[in-house]
């Protein structure tokens, strides 16, 4: 069993009701449900964060302070999503070009 740590979260009442409904329907604990929902997504965000922000920036006194404002949090996450989408579009274009080149080379033989 993985090592765990108990934390406290403040979430909107409606979200709590929805999580309870899901966990009851799936017959799993809320903690297990939230852990599974967050695991892969948080890892991906950490990778993007590590690629886009240096550790010096994160530890800087000028770094943004913790915020409970949902609009600010949503804005930060939207910025990360935009960065991910931008990189994905670039990689998709490079992939398409590479496949076209390979298909062209195959047809030349």
pLDDT in tens, the chain (109 residues): 679 899 999 999 999 999 999 999 999 999 999 999 888 788 877 877 777 665 555 555 555 566 678 888 788 888 878 877 887 887 888 888 888 878 776 666 5
Tell me if 47 is assigned to some domain: yes
**pLDDT at res. 26:** 92
Please indicate, yes or no, whether residues 70 and 58 belong to a single structural domain of this protein: no
Task: Determine contact, residues 36/23, Cβ cutoff 8 Å.
Answer: no
Q: What was the pLDDT predicted at 58? A: 54
CA gap 38, 35 in Å, rounded: 5
Output the pLDDT for position 30: 93
For residues 75 and 56, state if they share a domain: no
- Please indicate, yes or no, if residue 3 is contained in any of the structural domains: no
Which residue is it, tokens 């709590």?
16
Domain of 17? 13-63
Is the same domain home to 40 and 57? yes
Predicted pLDDT of residue 63? 56
Residue 46 CA: distances (Å) to CA of 63, 64, 85: 16, 17, 15
Q: What is the pLDDT of residue 25?
A: 93
Is residue 7 included in any domain, yes or no?
Answer: no
């Amino acid at each position: 069993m993985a090592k765990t740590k108990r934390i406290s979260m403040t979430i909107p009442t409606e979200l709590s009701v929805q999580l309870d409904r899901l966990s009851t329907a799936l017959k799993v604990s809320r903690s297990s449900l939230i852990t599974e929902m967050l695991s892969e997504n948080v890892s991906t965000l950490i990778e993007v964060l590590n690629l886009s922000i240096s550790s010096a920036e994160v530890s800087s006194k000028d770094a943004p302070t913790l915020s409970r404002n949902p609009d600010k949090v949503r804005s930060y996450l939207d910025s990360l999503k935009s960065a991910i989408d931008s990189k994905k579009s670039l990689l998709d274009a490079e992939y398409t070009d590479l496949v076209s080149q390979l298909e062209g080379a195959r047809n030349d033989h």
